[in-house]
């Protein structure tokens, strides 16, 4: 039982750790282990740009660079105040500037894209808890000089979750869904958008991401879902990102869909980055800049973590999967990876939480088993001690303590003893018991032991019994003894020898 209990606790502890990414041991980065990353040469870590200190920006899900700095949006999250669901201007040093409220509350803003006219499109296309059939884009000036204007859209084939938005060369928006299996579906409106009206989207293609092995906090799952997108200022390049990598394509003639579905991607690893969804090109188009997701990171590590911006120099070589990637062969055939690749991020969180919860339950069960086992053993020991004590008492012969061995029953104890008290009128204080007054016992002496001299030899002998026994006792029994013994009784005892007995 004890071995089983310890096994349960051990398994529970392991599951508890595996269920919490913040507690699991970090995986070494490819650069640290000497394994080459995607493209040519080793992985190059990002460079910190600045830290977002303002507490209003704790859930950055979309970012775009401007000549003055950046424009960012927060995603919705449980418990977030309405004041956090605004669009914010931020300086190049991550200092919060102007903020603009939405005319009505958005559901879950996820990305920002720049149109050919310079206006920004805010992608209200996500949902923290479930997929959506209807989504919206909010159009706003880059300087936030006026309030955003809503444009509604609907999917033609059911509900989807999406976190990325691009604009084609002609100004048509492209919504990129988060399928979570290494692919992403592309949707564009079939007709021009009209403010305040709902336009149905059409599926215009599917993009397949190259398989990578970049280390990230979510493991294999973090390499399969598109969570952000960016267009270069001149429109000649676009990028899609996962939690692990940024995939970049060249765009010809503004045809973004063709570039994503038919072009060759370059891969810039975002190795060991804090959970991040937002990505943009720098204002000059030379760098990719990632903004970390403060709330997710805080939940994982159990304490408040401020978002940071990091810059990456895009890889220019065509992507080639490294032959000696640490999990290349295993991941290609792993059922766990295949299973995980079909999970959305929310499902992944749920799975991790479930595994951690199950591990905690096993730990509690194990501890309960140890306590119960200890009580059971104590009870058994107490019972054994009581049984041993009872056995000792049963083996002890209390007759050994009796001065008279043999039968100690009441019948035997009260039976008259031959030779004693015969002729005295019975037991008692010289007068006998009331029922025997006047005669005493009339039992003869036992055969083979005749009286000598009428009594016991050591007393000088009593005279022979008179026929019919001794005469009746005087009322009240014998008189008190006189000095020197009792006086002779008529027909009774002769004077005692020696003045008494």
**Taking the alpha carbons of 235, 236, 240, 246 in that order, is the dihedral positive or negative?**
negative
CA 113 to chain centre: 42
Q: CB-side exposure of 32: number of CA atoms within 13 Å? A: 9
Query: Cα(245)–Cα(212) distance, rounded to whole angstroms?
Result: 8
Local structure of residue 455 (DSSP, 8 states): B
β-pairing verdict for 134-140 and 120-124: antiparallel
Query: Cα(321)–Cα(325) distance, rounded to whole angstroms?
Result: 8
Residue 144: φ, ψ to 5°: 55, 35
Residue 79 falls within a domain, yes or no? yes
8 A C-beta contact, residue 150 and residue 138 = yes
Structure tokens at 400: 């050994």
Query: Cα(126)–Cα(128) distance, rounded to whole angstroms?
Result: 7
Residue 135 falls within a domain, yes or no? yes
Please give the pLDDT value at position 298.
63
Exposed, middle or buried, 487 (CB in 10 Å: 0-12/13-18/19+)? exposed
Residue 405 falls within a domain, yes or no? no
Among residues 195, 153, 134, 161, the alpha carbon closest in space to that of 75 is found at 161
Please give the pLDDT value at position 358.
65
User: Residue 325 belongs to what domain range?
Assistant: 39-343
Contacts of 198 (CB under 8 A, 6+ apart): 134, 152, 153, 154
Residue 274 falls within a domain, yes or no? yes
Residue 193 falls within a domain, yes or no? yes
Question: What total of structural domains would you count in the chain?
Answer: 1
**Taking the alpha carbons of 293, 220, 43, 184 in that order, is the dihedral positive or negative?**
negative
Please give the pLDDT value at position 127.
85
Local structure of residue 220 (DSSP, 8 states): G
Global pTM value: 0.61
Among residues 192, 162, 190, the alpha carbon closest in space to that of 176 is found at 162
Structure tokens at 267: 């891969």
Residue 226 falls within a domain, yes or no? yes
Residue 104 falls within a domain, yes or no? yes
Query: Cα(41)–Cα(485) distance, rounded to whole angstroms?
Result: 137
Reported as type and span, the H/E element at residue 348 is helix 345-395
Residue 429 falls within a domain, yes or no? no
Print pLDDT tens along the chain (501 aa): 444 444 444 444 444 444 444 333 333 333 333 334 444 445 678 999 999 999 888 889 999 999 999 999 999 877 777 778 899 999 999 999 999 999 998 999 999 999 999 999 999 999 867 789 999 999 999 999 999 999 999 999 999 999 999 999 999 999 999 998 899 999 999 999 999 899 999 999 999 999 999 988 888 889 999 999 999 999 999 999 999 999 999 999 999 999 999 999 999 999 878 889 999 999 999 999 999 987 666 666 555 788 999 999 999 998 887 776 655 444 433 334 434 444 444 555 555 566 556 666 766 676 767 777 777 778 877 777 777 666 545 444 434 434 444 444 443 434 444 444 344 444 444 444 444 444 344 444 444 444 444 444 444 444 555 555 555 555 554 455 455 544 555 554 454 444 443
Tell me, what CATH number does 122's domain have? 2.120.10
Reported as type and span, the H/E element at residue 366 is helix 345-395
Among residues 423, 417, 490, the alpha carbon closest in space to that of 461 is found at 423
Helix axes 2-18, 345-395, angle to 10 degrees: 160
Angle value at C-alpha 415, between 413 and 421, nearest 5 degrees? 110
Query: Cα(248)–Cα(240) distance, rounded to whole angstroms?
Result: 7
DSSP string, 187-218: EEESS---TTSEEEEEEEEEEEPPP-----TT
Q: Where are the beta strands (DSSP E) in 85-242?
A: 86-91, 96-101, 111-114, 120-124, 134-140, 149-154, 162-167, 173-177, 183-189, 198-208, 228-231, 237-241
Query: Cα(373)–Cα(5) distance, rounded to whole angstroms?
Result: 9
């Amino acid at each position: 039982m004890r071995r089983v209990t310890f096994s349960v606790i051990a398994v529970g502890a392991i599951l508890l750790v595996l269920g919490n990414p913040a507690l699991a041991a970090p995986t070494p980065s490819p650069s640290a282990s000497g394994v080459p990353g995607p493209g040519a040469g080793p992985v190059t870590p990002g460079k910190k740009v600045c830290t977002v200190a303002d507490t209003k920006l704790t859930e950055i899900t979309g970012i775009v660079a401007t000549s003055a700095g950046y424009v960012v949006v927060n995603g919705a999250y449980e418990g977030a105040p309405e004041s956090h669901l605004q669009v914010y201007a931020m300086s190049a040093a991550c200092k919060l500037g102007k903020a603009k409220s939405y005319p009505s509350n958005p559901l879950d803003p996820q990305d920002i894209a720049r149109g050919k006219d310079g206006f920004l499109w805010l992608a209200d296309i996500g949902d923290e808890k479930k997929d959506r059939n209807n989504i919206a884009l909010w159009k706003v000036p880059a300087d936030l000089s006026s309030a955003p204007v809503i444009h509604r859209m609907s999917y033609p084939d059911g509900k989807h979750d999406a976190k990325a938005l691009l604009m084609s060369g002609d100004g048509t928006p492209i919504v990129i869904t988060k399928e979570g299996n290494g692919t992403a579906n592309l949707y564009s409106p079939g007709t021009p958008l009209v403010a305040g009206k709902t336009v149905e989207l059409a599926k215009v293609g599917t993009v397949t991401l190259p398989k990578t092995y970049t280390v990230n906090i979510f493991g294999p799952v973090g390499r399969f879902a598109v969570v952000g997108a960016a267009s270069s200022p001149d429109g000649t390049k676009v990028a899609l990102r996962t939690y692990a990598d940024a995939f970049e394509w060249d765009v010809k003639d503004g045809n973004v869909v063709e570039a994503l579905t038919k072009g060759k991607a370059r891969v810039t690893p975002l190795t060991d980055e804090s959970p991040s969804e937002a990505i943009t090109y720098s204002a000059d188009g030379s760098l990719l800049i990632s903004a970390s997701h403060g709330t997710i990171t805080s939940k994982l590590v159990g304490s408040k973590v401020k978002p940071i911006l990091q810059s990456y120099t895009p890889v220019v070589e065509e992507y080639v999967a490294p032959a000696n990637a640490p999990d290349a062969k295993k991941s290609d055939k792993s059922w766990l990876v295949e299973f995980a690749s079909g999970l959305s991020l929310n499902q992944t969180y749920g799975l991790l939480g479930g595994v951690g919860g199950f591990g905690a339950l096993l730990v509690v069960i194990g501890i309960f088993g140890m306590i119960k086992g200890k009580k059971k053993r104590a009870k058994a020991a107490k019972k054994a001690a009581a049984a041993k004590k009872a056995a000792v008492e049963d083996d002890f012969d209390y007759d050994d303590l009796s001065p008279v061995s043999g039968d100690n029953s009441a019948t035997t104890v009260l039976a008259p003893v031959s030779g004693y008290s015969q002729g005295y009128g019975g037991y008692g204080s010289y007068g006998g018991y009331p029922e025997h007054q006047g005669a005493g016992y009339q039992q003869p002496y036992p055969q083979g032991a005749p009286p000598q001299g009428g009594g016991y030899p050591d007393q000088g002998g009593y005279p022979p019994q008179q026929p019919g026994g001794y005469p009746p006792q005087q009322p009240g029994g014998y008189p008190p003894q006189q000095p020197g013994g009792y006086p002779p009784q008529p027909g009774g005892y002769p004077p005692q020898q020696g003045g008494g007995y």
